[in-house]
């Protein structure tokens, strides 16, 4: 009898599955930050576990961060080389600061998500 939680549990259920099914159960449990047992117990009680993080959102943020970084670099290079004569942008400084601020915000969100994994 194992007692890892706050209340004693004395009943055990064995579940037979193939290797692929076991891998999927373990991956889903990890995504929800639950043990395999907690994950399956919650499913059996009718709960729908929520993922601890949204993988697609994190990928999207990472891509956005990369795109913003590239855009800022290209804009800075364009302005420093003086291509096209006088820049049509009146206030380039604030625009570059806004791009940098957005990059920092995105990076902070990514770090917060990574720490919670």
- Residue 5's closest CA among 50, 30, 42, 52? 42
29: which 2 tokens?
């449990």
Cβ atoms < 10 Å from Cβ of 29: 19
Question: What whole-number percentage of the chain has pLDDT above 70?
Answer: 74
Angle, helices 92-115/55-81, rounded to nearest 10 degrees:
150
The 3-state DSSP class for residue 9 equals: coil
- pLDDT for 4-42, tens place per residue? 567 788 888 888 999 999 999 999 898 888 899 999 999
Whether the per-residue pLDDT at 70 is higher than 70: the answer is yes
Domain ranges of the chain: 10-52, 55-115
Helices (H), the chain: 19-31, 36-44, 55-81, 92-115
- pTM, two decimals, is 0.42
Q: Flag whether pLDDT at 113 surpasses 80.
A: no
């Amino acid at each position: 009898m194992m007692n890892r939680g706050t209340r004693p549990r004395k009943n055990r259920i064995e579940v037979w599955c193939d290797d692929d099914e076991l891998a999927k159960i373990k991956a889903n449990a990890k995504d929800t930050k639950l043990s395999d047992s907690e994950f399956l117990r919650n499913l059996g009680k009718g709960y729908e576990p929520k993922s601890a993080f949204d993988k697609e959102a994190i990928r999207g943020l990472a891509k956005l961060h990369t795109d913003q970084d590239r855009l800022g670099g290209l804009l800075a290079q364009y302005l420093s080389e003086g291509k096209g004569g006088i820049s049509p942008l009146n206030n380039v400084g604030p625009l570059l600061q806004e791009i940098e601020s957005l990059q920092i915000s995105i990076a902070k969100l990514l770090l917060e998500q990574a720490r919670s994994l």
